[in-house]
Amino acid sequence: MNGFLAGMFAAALPLVAAGFWAGRRTARPQGLGDLGTPVEHATFQTLHTASLAAPPLRAGLTPDTARRAVRGLRTLLGTDALCLTDGSSVLTWDGAGEHHSAEILQRLGRIRETGRGEAFRIRCDDDGCALHWAVVAPLTVDDRVHGALVACAPRESAVLVRAAGEVARWVSVQLELADLDRSRTRLIEAEIKALRAQISPHFVFNSLAVIASFVRTDPDRARELLLEFADFTRYSFRSHGDFTTLADELHAIDQYLALVRARFGERLSVTLQIAPEVLPVALPFLCLQPLVENAVKHGLEGKTDTSHISITAQDAGSEALVVIEDNGVGMEPERLRRILAGEAGPSAGIGLSNVDDRLRQVYGDGHGLVIETAVGAGMKITVRLPKYQPGVHSAPGRTGPIPRTR
Amino acid sequence: MNQNYAVPAVALVVLATVLVGALGLRISRTTSDFYVASRTVGPRLNAAAISGEYLSAASFLGIAGLVLVQGPDMLWYPVGYTAGYLVLLVFVAAPLRRSGAYTLPDFAEARLESRSVRRLAAALVVGVGWLYLLPQLQGAGLTLHVLTGAPRWFGGVLVAVVVVATVAAGGMRSITFVQAFQYWLKLTALLVPALFLLLAWHGDGAPRVAFDEPAAFREQRTVRVDDTLDIKLAAPLTVTATGTVDGTRHHAQRLLLPAGTHRVERGTRLVFAPGDPVPGGDAGGSGMSTPLAHARQERPLYATYGLIVATFLGTMGLPHVVVRFYTSPHGVAARRTTVVVLGLIGAFYLLPPVYGALGRLYAPELALTGQADAAVLVLPHLVIGGVGGNLLGALLAGGAFAAFLSTASGLTLAVAGVLTQDVLPTRGVRHFRLATLLAVVVPLAASALVGGLPVADAVGLAFAVSASSFCPLLVLGIWWRGLTPPGAVAGMVAGGGSALLAVTATMAGLPGGGPLHALLAWPALWSVPLGFLTMILVSLATASRIPAGTAAILARFHLPEALYAGQRTAPREVQP
């Protein structure tokens, strides 16, 4: 029987949890109920209604958002019918008398021109219809009329005119905020486009110089390097998609390193340890290559012996952990901080801060670069890439490694 | 069973798992050659890994136990466990991979662009994962109990500790290799003893048992009753008893037991004569051991169809199976992987029924003492005996432990991943460890509370919940444009929620019988259509809420990757 009781307890748990959740969802702030005078009560009530109507409109003026906002707005105004329109059509009508919408639409044109609200008598053939007056208040964003709020009432009322004007102004503010949201999104998109990885001009120059040096002595090697160079530039100039897979990014890094090795020969050694599970992970493209470029630069700077770079990618639950490490000269942490903050000027190279910015744009602030370094101690850069992020889809360049042209 | 052999075998499996997990990547993948490093997981390796993760205690021990007790009807279990991948192959594999989703909540969000659907899917993933973990831990307890006489809770705790410790120590660096290794280990551990057992059976004159008759003792057999149990007799039976039967003490007396239920106290020895039918047992006397068996005996047809629906449609919603498809580089590879999985799993499932049949022949008393799940482990000892039998038994014990470890670690990681992403407040390594602990401790606690269902039946219940919630979401999400977020939520709540309630009630051993009990014990037959129907009807009613990007999303799901990329962009520039 003991087991039976335990089982019943287990069966009741989900129900209790569901009840708790439902309670949390439906609960209203009741605590304010006995606070203040009746006037203050009314104020609270009004503010509460207004705050409930606001969130849908923050997404802009569409039939869907208008439908969700209009009930709260009608409670706020206390009219028999309330309608929201955009420039040319009725988005939603709450309450009685929807047959008046055609007549109201006729008036809309004039309001768009003047930008001023008006109250007018509406004609009606239906004896049962109690609505005789309509108040139209424009919804303006940046001094342009985007739509109108129409309140209908049985008789003319100065109070209603005033109230409709105020509510329309309040709705306009929400729409302006929505507009602001939209431009912020556009700004971020533009920023991502602007941040699109660029390969460094030094690299182009150095590669061509190295290839030129091989043209006479070793034409085959020169041809191979030229093909690597062509492949790498095609990857970095490609026009479709902002994202790639880890496998393709590694391929590009390989081509980059082939060109670097041609210049520095045996002074550079690279070790890779890539968990095959994370190879299909999608990531902003050319966001690891600059880190490798950085490691190469630091590794070879001011040293004559060999430099060692290790690239590891691990599977860590719902994320992939990529670590790029070099044993080079390292960097003063304070200087690094300035570089990442973009205060170090263009000479410091835009690679690191560009990658950091793009990772934060795509995955959020929790996913920026983590860099461990000190002067003379090398540098270790860690990147955490979520395996799934809404909106991040790799545009497949190739499936699997392309055989080398020889 | 000689524990001098079994304990080292289990220890060896645990050690090998941890070593391959920690070092496999370092040995096989440390290179300076990019072409080696960027080699993706091929369909064969990935398929072996999926099979290794999928073949759980239910497959390794449970099927043989059920066949032993209830005969060939139970062959639907291996058929269902395998056929689930056929449905997965046809309807889900490639589009799921192309969706880019790592977990089922990811898929829900990618398809429906809704956070609330994601959260509900996450809750259901955790529920299904816990339901599936529970029998794994119980099976581990049973195995160690039979092998070494350790208390029943010990095996589950051992598996939980090993899984949490590996995750805490940095996790399985090369989980794919580990799981593939576990598949081949499990296949070997089951295949080699099976061959020897068949040889021994052949040497014994290849006796045949008609499966339709109730199992019977072939020779005089003494059965020691370790736990108080009720035996049910359909016909009067004469036994020699030493101990307490029906409240009276006997000392090596011949007893004529009339038809009906008799209580046998612990420590009693019963001696059966050759040819006696094996009576049905009901262990523990608490009345909650095999409610499913009664429901099955009462309504075999309904139970069978319930099982078929649950296993055929439930495989696609198992959290640890879904995450493995992410490893395939593209949709076509995911499909190929599934084909190989069908082959590997089909080969494996030929073996457990052999053990079940031999167990019915050589160890029918296991059905009486309620330890049928241990049939696979004790058969070599009973049939072959000696050092050879002990060695084979040790191999089987190792294989069984591989089954617990691989499935438990796969499930734990999947559940912990969902917990960190969707339940616990912030992400980070420490939270992942906390989530791992949470993912294991809850089923461990439940395994102490909830009584012993047969392992294969308990897994069947997890399949039922998965089939009624995720099958509608995946199939409709991939093949129907009209799916809306409210529809998905309603369908998952109606189908998965009702199945979950039914399953919990069954596991809790809700007393009673009759049609209601059968309905609760095999929910898939009504809960899956309920889930589909609710999802479709609510979606049709809320047609205005169809996500704006549906057409583009479905195009990405269904078009091959290269074609999709080409269609989306301007013609490419001339290539060098």
On whether the CB atoms of residues B108 and B317 are closer than 8 A, the answer is: no
Domain span at B299: 3-205+285-559
Q: Residue A385: its chain B contacts at CB < 8 A?
A: none
Per-residue model confidence as pLDDT tens digits over B475-515: 999 999 999 999 999 999 999 999 988 888 877 766 666 77
Q: Which has more confidence, B158 or A125?
A: B158
Task: Looking at the structure, tell me whether residues B316 and B368 fall in a common domain.
Answer: yes
Judged by DSSP in three states, B517 sits in: helix
**Regarding predicted confidence, which is higher, B65 or B87?**
B87
Which of the listed ranges A397-401, B19-23, B503-507, B562-566 does the model predict with the highest average pLDDT? B503-507
* Chain A residues inside the 8 Å CB shell of B286: 1-4
Residues composing chain B = 576
Q: Which of B177-181, B290-294, B385-389, B482-486 has the highest mean pLDDT?
A: B482-486
**Do B127 and B167 lie in a common domain?**
yes
B35 in the same domain as B131: yes
Q: Does residue B45 belong to any structural domain of this protein? A: yes
- Give DSSP secondary structure letters for B530-569: HHHHHHHHHHHHTGGG--TTHHHHHHHHHS-HHHHHHHHS
Question: What is the rounded CA–CA span in Å between residue B110 and residue B107?
Answer: 5
Give pLDDT tens digits for B208-257: 765 556 667 766 777 777 667 777 777 777 778 787 777 778 777 777 77
Q: How confident is the model at residue B121 (pLDDT cuts 50, 70, 90)?
A: very high
Looking at the fold, whether B133 and B181 belong to one and the same domain comes out as yes
Higher pLDDT, A14 or B286: A14
Q: What is the pLDDT of residue A25?
A: 63
- Residue range(s) in chain A whose domain bears CATH number 3.30.450.40: 32-192
Asked if the structure places residue B293 within a domain, the reply is yes
Euclidean distance between CA atoms B92 and B540, whole angstroms: 23
B-chain residues near A10 (CB < 8 A): 446, 449-450, 504, 507-508
B196, part of any domain: yes
- Whether residues B238 and B385 share a domain: the answer is no
Residues B336 and B236 in one domain: no
Residue B542 structure tokens: 């809320």
All residues at 6 or more sequence positions from B510 whose CB lies less than 8 Å from its CB, including other chains: A4, A7, B291, B517, B520
Q: B299, B268, B298, B302: which is closest to B285 by C-alpha?
A: B268
Top pLDDT among B542 and A89 is at: B542
Helix (H) or strand (E) holding B366: helix B365-369
Q: Residue A392: its chain B contacts at CB < 8 A? A: 100
Partners of residue A149 on adjacent β-strands: A84, A137
Give the pLDDT confidence score for residue B337 in this predicted structure: 94
Which amino acid belongs to residue A318?
S
* Predicted pLDDT of residue B570: 34
Nearest CA in chain B to A228: B576
A92, A254, A256, A318: which to substitute to probe chain B, counting the most B Cβ within 10 Å? A318
- Say if residue B65's pLDDT is above 60: yes
Using DSSP bridges, classify how beta strands B221-224 and B269-272 pair: parallel, antiparallel or unpaired. antiparallel
Domain count, chain B: 2
- Among A229, A277, A285, A367, the strongest candidate for a mutation testing the B interface, having the largest count of B CBs within 10 A, is A277
Supply the pLDDT for residue B172.
60
3-state secondary structure of A103: helix
Task: Indicate if the pLDDT at residue B348 is higher than 90.
Answer: yes
Q: Which two tokens stand for residue A56?
A: 């849908």
Mean pLDDT in residue range A286-302: 85
Chain A residues touching B411 at Cβ < 8 A: none
Cβ–Cβ contact A401 with B under 8 A: yes
Q: Is B139 inside a domain boundary?
A: yes
**How far A116 CA lies from chain B's nearest CA (Å)?**
34
Shortest CA distance from B416: residue in chain A = A317
Residue identified by tokens 């850069």 is A381
What integer is the mean pLDDT of B434-455? 81
State the Cα–Cα distance between residues A99 and B509, nearest whole angstrom: 61
Q: What percent of chain B has pLDDT over 70?
A: 86
Residues B408 and B354 in one domain: yes
Q: What percent of chain A is predicted at pLDDT more than 90? A: 8
The ipTM is 0.81
Give the span between the Cα atoms of A82 and A96, in whole angstroms: 9
Q: Which of A116-125, A249-258, B432-441 has the lowest mean pLDDT?
A: A116-125
Which pLDDT does position B573 carry in this prediction? 33
Which 3 state secondary structure label does DSSP give B213?
coil
- What is the pLDDT at residue A78? 82
C-alpha closest to that of B142 among B203, B219, B57: B57
Residues B192 and B9: beta-carbon distance below 8 Å: no
A6 at B interface, C-beta within 8 A: yes
Cα atoms in the Cβ-side hemisphere of radius 13 Å centred on A277: 26
Beta bridge partners of B277: B216
- The more confident residue out of B339 and B234 is B339
**What is the distance in angstroms between the Cα of A277 and the nearest Cα belonging to chain B?**
5
Considering the domain architecture, whether residues B440 and B413 belong to the same structural domain is answered as yes
Q: Which of A7, A251, A270 faces B509 most closely, judged by CB atoms?
A: A7
CATH number for the domain whose boundaries are A32-192: 3.30.450.40
Q: Calculate how close chain A gets to B405, using CA atoms only, in Å.
A: 17
Instruction: Please judge whether B449 and A3 are an interchain contact, meaning their C-beta atoms are less than 8 angstroms apart.
Output: yes
A to B CB pairs, distance under 8 Å: 170
B297 & B267 share domain = no
Helix (H) or strand (E) holding A90: strand A90-95
Taking the C-alpha atoms of residue A327 and residue A295, their distance in angstroms, rounded to an integer, is 8
How high does pLDDT run on average in chain A? 80
Average pLDDT over residues B389-412: 88
**Is the Cβ pair B565, A250 closer than 8 Å?**
no
Residue B43 included in any domain: yes
User: Could you give the 3-state DSSP secondary structure of residue B135?
Assistant: helix
Give a yes or no: residue B571 inside a domain.
no
Rounded Cα distance between B520 and B518, Å, is 5
Q: Cβ separation of A275 and B504 shorter than 8 Å?
A: no
Between β-strands A268-274 and A307-316, what pairing exists: parallel, antiparallel or unpaired? parallel
Does one domain contain both B518 and B542?
yes
Q: For residues A160 and A120, what is the distance between their CA atoms, to the nearest angstrom?
A: 12
- Chain B CB within 8 Å of residue A23 CB: no
Q: Three-state DSSP class for A24?
A: helix
- Which is higher by pLDDT, A35 or B431? B431
* Separation of CA A189 from chain center: 8
CA quadruple B562, B568, B571, B573: dihedral positive or negative? Answer: negative
Residue B136 to residue A148: CA distance in whole angstroms? 63
- Specify whether B271 is located in the same domain as B148: no
CA distances to A96, A246, A286, B398 from A255, rounded to whole Å, are: 70, 14, 13, 47
Q: At a CB cut-off of 8 Å and minimum separation 6, what does B495 contact?
A: B468, B469, B472, B527, B528, B530, B531, B532, B534, B535
The answer to whether B395 touches B402, Cβ cutoff 8 Å, is no
Q: Which residue in chain B is spatially nearest to A245 when comparing CA positions?
A: B329
Displacement of CA A26 from its chain's centroid (Å): 30
Residue B8 has pLDDT above 60, yes or no: yes
Give the residue from B464, B492, B500, B498 showing the smallest Cα distance to B476.
B492
Dihedral pair phi/psi, residue A350, rounded to 5°: -95, -5
What's the whole-number mean pLDDT along residues B530-556?
91
Which of these, B192, B26, B141, lies nearest to B408 by C-alpha position?
B141
> What is the DSSP track for A47-69?
HHHHHHHHHHHTT-S-HHHHHHH
Residue B313 forms beta bridges with which residues?
none
What burial class does residue B308 get, using C-beta atoms within 10 Å of its C-beta: 0-12 exposed, 13-18 middle, 19+ buried? Answer: middle
* Residue A4: C-alpha distances to residues A7, A402, B449, B507 (Å): 5, 62, 9, 9
Evaluate whether B311 touches B466 at the Cβ level (below 8 Å): no
Chain A nearest-CA residue for B421: A318
Cβ under 8 Å to B: A residues 75-114: none
Q: Which position has the token pair 């429901």?
A: B295
User: 3.50.50.60, 3.30.565.10, 1.10.287.3510, 3.40.50.10310: which CATH number matches A200-386?
Assistant: 3.30.565.10
The answer to whether residue B13 is domain-embedded is: yes
A398/A10: higher pLDDT: A10
**Contacts of residue B576 in chain A, CB cutoff 8 Å?**
227, 230-231, 234
Q: Is the pLDDT of residue A297 over 80?
A: yes
CA A155 to chain CA centroid, nearest Å: 49
Residue of B34, B46, B507 for testing the chain A interface, max A β-carbons within 10 Å: B34
Intervals of CATH 3.30.565.10 along chain A: 200-386
A400 lies within 8 A of chain B by CB? yes
Select from B247, B364, B307 the least CA-distant residue to B79: B307
pLDDT bracket for residue A402 (50, 70, 90)? very low
Q: How far is the C-alpha of B452 from the C-alpha of A188, rounded, in Å?
A: 57
The runs of H, that is alpha helices, within A238-385 are 246-264, 289-300, 333-340, 351-363
Nearest 5°: phi and psi at A136? -110, 125
| pTM score | 0.78
**CB–CB of A4 and B38 under 8 A?**
no
Predicted pLDDT of residue B284: 37
- At A48 the pLDDT is 86
Q: Do A3 and B451 touch (CB under 8 A)?
A: yes
Locus of tokens 């989530």: B435
- Number of residues in chain A: 406
Of residues B501, B362, B458, the one with CA closest to residue B131: B458
Nearest CA in chain A to B30: A273
Give me the helix-helix angle, B351-362 and B63-70, nearest 10°: 40
- Under a CB-based contact definition with an 8 Å cutoff, are residues B63 and A349 in contact? no
Q: Does a structural domain hold residue B572? A: no
Distance from CA of A223 to the nearest CA of B (A): 13
Structure tokens given for B191 = 């295949």
Most confident of A141-150, A215-224, A235-244, A334-343: A215-224
Q: Hey, which residues does A137 pair with through a beta bridge?
A: A149
Question: CATH number for the domain including B13?
Answer: 1.20.1730.10
Q: What integer is the mean pLDDT of B292-312?
A: 78
Residues B128 and B230 in one domain: no
Chain A residues 237-266 with CB within 8 Å of chain B:
239-241, 245, 247, 250-251, 253-254, 257
Which A residues 52-71 touch B at CB under 8 Å? 64
- Per-residue confidence (pLDDT) for residue B370, from 0 to 100: 67
Per the prediction, chain B carries an average pLDDT of 82
